[in-house]
Structure 1
């Protein structure tokens, strides 16, 4: 699959770079855009101001592309709006947007196409600065996406090793380990042995450590070469990534993680709380006094929204009110409001003009709240991360007015079942889209499973979806049961939430085929579970030859006991009736008839 001469050439080039501390681009590396058809390629890109360059990667191999931007340097003053790399899942810039890399990107971007073509566009602003990027890509079978490595680790401590350790790791390895320890703890990750390809910017082989479960934000560090680094998370969640290319493999690493108890929380001078419906900012009076201000000098973007003043100053308001602005930042939707502290005095003042910028980032299934305060700056930045509150329920009809509260939900075979996903948020400009729904006889959604909806496409003939309505996603299907005597059915749905003002969002695409990406990484997504559903038992069919389900077998002793008591009661009543009848008959004969001696004729 890979050419030996290419590998040898790249090895030689890398050796020269290390020895000479030089950054020469590989021979033939395109400077501003190209159409690439190699199965794998690594190259450096150098750009100046006012550049607009497009690279297209395409080859008819029916495989997926992994694209790694292992190094990027934009102009220091640039923003994501003026200078960025935009990656599209397809053969042109008209394809669905897969992701964006810019000066604010807090990660080592690794992106995956849903087919055998991919496009990325680099634009630069007018600033006089020499930008530099290093990128490599390769094709691989879609089913081998995780390279049989990585996984979930949930114990209080454990060991992680690279594939084949201590033998050299394989080429084109991409492993992701998610670590989760107990609540109120943080994670310490220490490498006892570490040997990856040496490069001063870790462009070729590297490990990346993230604070949390995401790999698109929260980068703690990226390392390579010979070292023994140690990392700590801020919570009980951490992610470790190993990425390698096709040259210069070494023995990899062995690392141990341990959980460390977090100290008791200290009440901050200011904190922010984000929910699906509201934003709450709390400022202590002592903190305001230290800045030379009091509560009368504070105002939000909308000055008519006033705080509640108790022992602290509390601003609490719905997400879409009080002048809050909303922005889709790719991997998250951010709500921002600003508290301004106005100086007193009509002519002069000796107070600083201070703004407290409060941002609620709604990220995928994340509830971690983080506060960033710059003590010696005029801007006090407070950021919290929250998640949208989503639930799913069954309803008794297509009016969706009466939810079904019983659990389990007993239904007839082939009965219409009406399901509704509800978003609980005060932001009216959001859409809910049901991307995927699977059914399973087990609450943990182990095998077997059955697709009702996949990538917005109906996979079951009885599924009917309803048009989006405000914060609701609705569909119906006919009740069924799994074979092999499983008594229950559970439903799990992947939900996508989009800004209704975004015309090209996932929520507006509907059914997406395999040639397009089913669930873009820049879309806010979560999942919800409902169940169990069970079939009603018809006692009149108990004598039929159809085999009993496990639930029937569980209920049969109760039915037998019920029938025994009923029969006993009927026999007792019958006996009482017979005895009473005999007694009445005897008394009647005694009262209405006498005995008379018959005279003999002899």
Structure 2
């Protein structure tokens, strides 16, 4: 409720701005230099639709010795799994040559972003087919993190280790932070991540505070393995390659206890590596993971096969939501490629579909052959992300259901909600 009131206040402020001079609404230009300890920044012509073929840049500068807190209050850009078309990018400095804090599109607002210095740079680009109202963000000046909160993110290269949210376990994590941990193994190894304690501000769509896990070393939507919040422990997560990126974001209001996560670097045969001789003592026990009967040697197939969340909580977080019948299943690497004959589409994103003899077909990649254990001829409701080839990607923790006609009414209602 406080967030809704704040958002209403921002819009009222914008609506009444400049009223002493004239009755026109404020005009947001394409880029500019912004300063002061608080203010707002918006896409060109907001809240009208942003123009096509634009490239706008803003630099926000606050007082020396302070940092910039940037919080999105509205986001409505053309959606794409990797934000390759219309997008807004945030940089930790004065120009795009600085560290990129994130690239965003669609309608799901990111959490608060915080610079390490007193400047932050914003770039919004649109192509020839722009769509949406753009964005509105509020910025405020704040003090740099205290010493106890500075251990936020970093590069982890040891074969085993753990990391926590700032302030754990003494008190709740701070507001307005973004922490990124980059876990790096060697070629032919993979990373297994487990959360032992987990308490993040709860929200159906994880819009405010959340943890996002990515394959590789970049926070790209096409590589996202999952986004989590609330108090339910996420299942075990493994990288497909030798790197894993964990990003934690908190906004400017409610906080919670945070999390404790542990990781193990394993060989492809499932053996956890011994700690390096110079490593400090660790409570993590080195064990040999048993291979489950019938599972291939792939890393994702050693993850417990259980879906995360509910139909409603996964709807907005997914690129596509469809119901359909499995027409064929064929081996592809360590997984399976499924051909789905679509019954209903609720979200498609950039999912590639084609018409064959009066049927609409789509391809799905099951990262693990038996998780989820789809069967030819059975109808399912499926959701997940879309890869660069336009193919649906379904890791072991993807949400799916055996299709039942009564699901159609629920999913149709969800399509009418704004994520």
Q: TM-score range by the shorter chain?
A: 0.3 to 0.5
Given the two structures, how large is their TM-score scaled by the length of structure 2? 0.45
TM-score w.r.t. the length of structure 1 is: 0.33
Higher relative contact order (CA 8 A, sep 6+): 2
